[in-house]
Amino acid sequence: MPARVPSAKIRKAARLLLFRSGTRPGVKGWELAKAVGDDYLEVVKALNSMLDPLGLETVAVDEQGRRLKMEGDLRKALFLVILKEPPTIEEAKTSGWRIDDLAVLAASLLYLLARGGSAPRSELVGVLKAKFRGPRLSYALERLIRLGYLEEEGEQVKVGWRSRVEIDLDKLVGISGLGAAAPSGGPS
């Protein structure tokens, strides 16, 4: 049986969501509404039914990275396509992540979550230096901040919006190993 051809609206929404432009991934709700019409939420729901067998889903988040229900007026929300499950190590490496960067991310998130979501940068760097050697640590930390997985406010480092969206933080805290912290998307 031939595959069902997606409607023009679903195809347009998928292209907007999957091919990013700019430095921040995702598409604002108003951009989706402008491109596909006022029924953009129904289009996103239909797209989700097509993405589900691929292990992907479209989520709407607010500026802090909190997931929103797909109802009401979400024109100010950011819509992203994410993986429904953590990627394998091979998938993470193929999408541009280094294993040591993933380890720095996981250790940083675990430390920050244990401290209520934020900690002084000097403390975090001290903890990371005790676990990770080499000159890449500073680069990895700056990259995670730039990508939005960590955020910096003054001297405080906090869990970033992308970590809240792409990583199951409850599952991360509940595990004993660090490998499950792989973000669902590649470095953007």
pLDDT in tens, the chain (188 residues): 444 546 889 989 998 888 866 667 889 999 999 999 999 999 999 999 999 999 999 999 998 888 999 999 999 999 999 888 888 888 877 878 888 889 999 999 999 999 999 999 999 999 999 988 878 898 999 999 999 999 999 999 999 999 999 888 888 877 644 444 555 555 44
Q: Is residue 187 a part of any domain in this protein?
A: no
Domain that holds residue 56: 8-84
Give strand pairing partners of 120.
156
Based on the structure, what is the number of domains in the chain?
2
State how far the Cα of 131 lies from the Cα of 154, in Å rounded to an integer.
24
**What CATH number does the domain containing 111 carry?**
1.10.10
Last residue of one domain, picked from the residues 59, 84, 109: 84
Query: Do residue 139 and residue 76 come from a single domain?
Result: no
Q: Do 155 and 177 reside in the same domain of the chain?
A: yes
Q: In the 8-state DSSP scheme, what is residue 2?
A: P
User: Distance from first CA to last CA of the chain, Å, rounded?
Assistant: 37
pTM to 2 decimal places: 0.77
Among left, alpha and beta (phi > 0; psi -120 to 50; other), residue 83 is: beta
Could you tell me if 100 and 173 lie in one domain? yes
Q: Considering the domain boundaries, does residue 94 fall inside one? A: yes
The overall longest dimension of the chain from CA atoms, in Å, is: 60
DSSP helix/strand/coil, 167: coil
Domain-embedded: residue 186: no
- 117 in Cβ contact with 125 (< 8 Å): no
The amino acid occupying position 89 is: I
Q: How far apart are CA 39 and CA 54, in angstroms?
A: 24
Domain boundary among 52, 69, 84: 84
